[in-house]
Amino acid sequence: MRDYIIRRVLGMIPLILIVMIVSFGIFSLVPNPFAALIENPRIKRSDIQRLVKAWGFDLPWYLRFFKWFSGVIRGDWGPSLLYPGSTARDVIARRLPVTMRVMGLELLVSLVIALPIGIISAVKQYSMTDYVVTIFSFLGMSMPSFWLGLMMMMLFSVVLKRPSGVPLLPAGGIITPGLEQAPFWVKLGDRAQYLVMPVFVLSFLSIGYYARYMRSSMLEVVRQDYIRTARAKGVPERSVINKHALRNAMIPIVTLIALSVPGIVGGAAITETIFNIPGMGSLIIQAEIKADYPTAMIGLMLSSVLVIVFNLVADIVYAWVDPRIKYS
């Protein structure tokens, strides 16, 4: 098992390099952002040429890659083009915690709700509960996030108000200005109210997806012979489900969860925009449009590395849940 993990980790290095080169290459298709400056008569040609040279846009993409990469191995990811004066790393560092907070909560809330309702829905297949769960699952999966977000905002930030006249929930942002000196729990409570709507919207969209997965995995398991064996030896129905069925039904869910975790750093561009959250999703899209390759590459590499790492995590957890799987 240890050897297997070491082998897999070593195998990640070339994979990450390839991802890096390919995404950088694709990125070079974004036009040189300085070319348009030529049309501006107030900017000197020599200044433009200096900028183009400094950013490496005078070089073919692979040479630009090497220039950038030689910095990366020294820990220097380059300056941000989008936010002049900041390094790309600082730009990401400002955004990442915000996104991880929203997306982490979203994943947690979705799983905590979706897995139990998926199980109940399978155990009581074709019951009223099952139909309600199914309807809400599909409703969530087909819901446009911007519409739901706007409707929630209308309700909780415009229609519903506290006795003091302040909206029940803030319409957007992540923190109320002027609370820097407030005690810790006040700040925590303040942040929490900004999170309610975005986390609800994102969870509502994904609960159905996880619940349907859990349901079908559970349905597959409860009709297996060993479930009948468990019943035949007098196991109470509750432990037939919780002990005998669930552990088997979780095997495919492990992959699903492991592959969802990298989403925590990716952000959700549309929801972030609606609720005015300075997160990764909107940042990376802007960086890509504006050819801010140092910033965009950090975002891409974060996601890729997490996808690769959590694939390995999924494989390790597999072996732990399913004794039939052995790595050597």
Judged by the rule CB under 8 A, the positions of this chain that interact with another protein are: 224-226, 228-237, 244, 247-248, 321-324
Q: How far apart are CA 232 and CA 240, in angstroms?
A: 10
What's the first-to-final CA gap in the chain, in angstroms?
6
Minimum distance, C-beta of residue 131 to another protein, in the bound complex (Å):
15
Q: Is 54 exposed, middle or buried (0-12, 13-18, 19+ CB in 10 A)?
A: exposed
Name which of 221 and 265 has its Cβ closer to another protein.
221
Structure tokens at 6: 């070491």
Name which of 70 and 125 has its Cβ closer to another protein.
125
Name which of 32 and 224 has its Cβ closer to another protein.
224
Minimum distance, C-beta of residue 127 to another protein, in the bound complex (Å):
11
* Residue 194 · residue 170 · CB < 8 Å: yes
Name which of 70 and 239 has its Cβ closer to another protein.
239
What is the C-alpha R_g of the chain? 25
Name which of 88 and 230 has its Cβ closer to another protein.
230
Minimum distance, C-beta of residue 126 to another protein, in the bound complex (Å):
8
Q: How far apart are CA 97 and CA 99, in angstroms?
A: 5
Minimum distance, C-beta of residue 244 to another protein, in the bound complex (Å):
5
For 30, 88, 173, the CA distances from 34, given in Å and listed in that order, are 11, 18, 32
Minimum distance, C-beta of residue 142 to another protein, in the bound complex (Å):
29
